[in-house]
């Protein structure tokens, strides 16, 4: 499958937006049904098609132009393409069964997980793995949103720091094991109040515990929804 995307990389103090096409590769076929030999698998591949940046023209005006031809001899394009491939490799795949559903399903390490409300009237969100209850997300006035994992009895919460200004939303959410012990940081920003950028920075996150990222992102969304609801003005007749 071919997809198009962009990635922003700082090149010696200049923010460059690389445009690329990404081929996810093909698993191949060992043998066709008629017995004929199949085709070998192919890995992912990336082609950088453009590199846009804001530069100053001969009249001193700021212009947004494609500088790939100028930039290419001075950068390691192979490393950038490797970074793009790494960013596009799916560790976790998530879906919503229906567009209007609050339920979230994700697939990680060969297992299916579900996050869904216990029932319509309760705010508790159950965490299921293979249909079995393994944890929950709860909310209270005293503690805020928390994740509890049953088998480890560990409890996690989310702290938040606002870093944006008037025209840019920028926040850092830290997913903490109660203690507090930081596990990872979610760097969230929204450009022009439309395009969301979410980055995960590992602090003490084991490679076998990436499911915690989904719980952290869920806490982030729940927190944002609560903040939006609190900011909505009410009118009284």
In this predicted model, which residue has the larger pLDDT, 156 or 120?
Answer: 156
Q: Please write the tens of the pLDDT for every residue from 25-73.
A: 776 676 777 778 877 777 778 889 999 999 888 888 889 999 999 888 8
Residues 119 and 225 in one domain: yes
| Mean pLDDT, rounded, for 6-19 | 86
Pair 194, 175: CB distance under 8 Å: no
140-155 burial: b if 16+ Cβ within 10 Å, else e: eeeebbbbbbeeeebb
Q: What stretches of the chain show up as alpha helix (H) in DSSP?
A: 68-71, 77-88, 211-231
| Gap between the Cα atoms of 223 and 188, Å rounded | 13
pTM over 0.85: no
Residues 210 and 136 in one domain: yes
Domain boundary among 88, 112, 128: 88
Q: How confident is the model at residue 99 (pLDDT cuts 50, 70, 90)?
A: very low
3-class secondary structure, 167: coil
Q: Please write the tens of the pLDDT for every residue from 149-163.
A: 999 899 999 999 887
Residues 151 and 127 in one domain: yes
Domain boundary among 40, 58, 88: 88
- What's the number of domains the chain is made of? 2
Domain boundary among 34, 66, 88: 88
Residues 116 and 178 in one domain: yes
Residues 173 and 151 in one domain: yes
DSSP 211: H
Residues 148 and 45 in one domain: no
User: By residue range, what is the domain housing residue 130?
Assistant: 93-231
Residues 78 and 14 in one domain: yes
Q: Please write the tens of the pLDDT for every residue from 173-229.
A: 999 999 879 999 998 887 665 667 788 888 888 877 888 999 999 999 888 888 877
Beta strand spans in the chain (E): 2-11, 14-23, 29-31, 37-39, 45-56, 62-66, 93-95, 104-108, 111-117, 125-129, 132-140, 144-149, 154-162, 169-177, 181-191, 195-202
Residues 33 and 140 in one domain: no
Q: How confident is the model at residue 76 (pLDDT cuts 50, 70, 90)?
A: confident
State the burial class of residue 51 (Cβ atoms within 10 Å of its Cβ: 0-12, 13-18, 19+): buried
DSSP 26: B
Q: What is the pLDDT of residue 85?
A: 77
In this predicted model, which residue has the larger pLDDT, 114 or 1?
Answer: 114
Residues 27 and 44 in one domain: yes
Examine residue 172 and state whether it is found in any structural domain, yes or no: yes
Residues 21 and 97 in one domain: no
Residues 138 and 208 in one domain: yes
Pair 127, 137: CB distance under 8 Å: yes
Q: What percent of the chain has pLDDT over 90?
A: 23
Examine residue 237 and state whether it is found in any structural domain, yes or no: no
3-class secondary structure, 229: helix
Examine residue 134 and state whether it is found in any structural domain, yes or no: yes
Q: What is the pLDDT of residue 100?
A: 46
């Amino acid at each position: 499958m071919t997809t198009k995307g962009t990635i922003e990389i700082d090149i010696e103090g200049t923010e460059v937006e690389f445009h690329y096409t990404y081929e996810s590769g093909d698993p191949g076929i060992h043998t066709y049904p008629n017995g004929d030999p199949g085709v070998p698998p192919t890995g992912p591949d990336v082609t950088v098609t453009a590199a846009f940046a804001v530069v100053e023209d001969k009249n001193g005006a700021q212009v947004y132009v494609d500088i790939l031809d100028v930039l290419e001899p001075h950068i390691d394009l192979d490393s950038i393409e490797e970074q793009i491939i790494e960013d596009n490799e799916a560790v976790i795949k998530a879906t919503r069964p229906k567009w209007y559903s609050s339920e979230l399903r994700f697939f990680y390490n060969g297992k299916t997980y579900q996050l869904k409300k216990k029932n319509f009237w309760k705010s508790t969100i159950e965490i299921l793995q293979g249909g079995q209850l393994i944890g929950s997300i709860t909310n209270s006035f005293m503690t805020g949103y928390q994740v509890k994992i049953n088998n480890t009895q560990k409890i996690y919460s989310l702290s938040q720091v606002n870093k944006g200004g008037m025209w840019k939303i920028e926040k850092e959410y830290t997913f903490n094991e109660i203690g507090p012990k930081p596990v990872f940081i979610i760097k969230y920003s929204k450009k022009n109040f439309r395009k969301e950028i979410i980055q995960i920075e590992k602090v003490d996150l084991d490679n076998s515990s990436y499911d915690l990222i989904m719980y952290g992102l869920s806490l982030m969304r729940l927190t944002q929804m609560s903040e939006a609801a609190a900011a909505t003005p009410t009118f009284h007749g």
